[in-house]
Amino acid sequence: MAMTVEELVENFSLLDDWEDRYAYVIDLGKKLEPMPEAEKTEEAKVKGCMSQVWLAYDAAAPSNGGGETRLHFRADSDAFIVKGLIAVLMELYNDRTPKEILETDAVAALGELGLASHLSPNRRNGFVAMVDRIKAIAADHAAA
Q: Are strands 70-77 and 53-60 parallel, antiparallel or unpaired?
A: antiparallel
Residue 82 annotated in active site: no
**What value does the mean pLDDT of the chain take?**
88
pTM confidence score: 0.88
Report the C-alpha gap between 39 and 63 in whole angstroms: 24
**CB proximity list for 84: less than 8 A, separation 6 or greater:** 24, 25, 26, 27, 28, 29
CB atoms within 10 A of CB 51: 16
Catalytic residue among 49, 115, 130, 134: 49
Look at 46 and 61; give whichever has higher pLDDT: 46
Report the C-alpha gap between 73 and 42 in whole angstroms: 17
Cβ-contact 29, 84 below 8 angstroms: yes
CA angle 106, 87, 89 (to 5 degrees): 20
When pLDDT is averaged across residues 54-69 and rounded to a whole number, the result is: 82
Look at 5 and 107; give whichever has higher pLDDT: 107
Assign a CATH topology to domain 5-143: Sufe protein. Chain: A (3.90.1010)
Cβ-contact 50, 123 below 8 angstroms: yes
When pLDDT is averaged across residues 95-99 and rounded to a whole number, the result is: 94
pLDDT of 63 reads: 66
Please check the confidence at residue 3 and state whether its pLDDT lies above 80: no
Cβ-contact 59, 70 below 8 angstroms: yes
CA angle 10, 105, 48 (to 5 degrees): 115
